[in-house]
Amino acid sequence: MDLQLSGRVAVVTGASKGIGLAVTRTLLDEGVRVVAASRKSTPELEALGGTGLLHVPVDLMDPEAPGRLVARAVEEFGGLDILVNNAGGPPPGVSLPRFSFMAPTDDDWREMFEFNLFSIVRAVRAAIPEMLRRGGGSIVNVSSGNARQPAPMNVDYNAAKAGLNNLTKALSEEFAPQGIRVNTVSPGPVRTAWWTEEGGAADIIAAQAGTDRDSVMDSVAPEMMKLTTGRLVDPQEVADVIALLASPRSASTTGAEFSVDAGFLKGV
């Protein structure tokens, strides 16, 4: 299916690995020119190469970074049509999960909201004027199934993502009449660096459960989270939904939330 994206310009945050890398690859394959944002590049991102890809090193904990990122997209490619707010999860230097409401401090809460909500507010604020100049655009915010599944584990992260879901609805209500669609994709547990890196979620849960990291990813976590597919989500499965939402083929889809979560959410 032709997604009718060729020639458009996108900004993708958290683009160096995981979901962001898969989104960047998918959009490039569709003929999109992509500004890929991350604190550092990776060999996998560099391997995508080509004139349609620009990596911009940014730390989204810096309040000025989202504005600079959008400005680079306009400077390099002449405008902006798509914004994928994918960066999120543990703030730099933080390891998750935390297992109790009592675990995060005030500073932990502030950092979590800075990374998972406020950086997105700033990116959207910078992107909307540029999209309006082009007659519209598409914003896709990557949230989490945990935004609608309250739990004491990672309570600060869950609360930030719940705020992001609310923000998405509000943005859609205001800007859809002006041609800017805003939607949410809510992954479940995805086999990304959050899980796989040394000291990541798999290692932390393995220490708690008295098992090894591979067992956590292959069986313990899917069972613990009651994933009906029996496995963690693949990043490409999330990227495919994001690309469709970014596309004009989704012209009447706005203010919506799409779960790509291996059956994690059970509520209606």
Max intra-chain CA distance, the chain: 56
- Pull the structure tokens for residue 222: 């899917």
67: helix, strand or coil? helix
| Dist CA 233 CA 228 (whole Å) | 11
> Cα 104 to chain center, whole Å?
22
Please report which helix (H) or strand (E) contains residue 119, including its range.
helix 119-133
| Dist CA 143 CA 163 (whole Å) | 9
| Dist CA 24 CA 10 (whole Å) | 9
| Dist CA 233 CA 190 (whole Å) | 4
Our answer to whether residue 157 is catalytic in this structure is yes
Of 113, 157, 258, 264, which residue is the catalytic one? 157
> Cα 128 to chain center, whole Å?
18
List the strands of the sheet with 137-142, edge to edge: 53-57, 33-38, 9-13, 82-85, 137-142, 180-187, 257-260
Residues marked as catalytic: 157
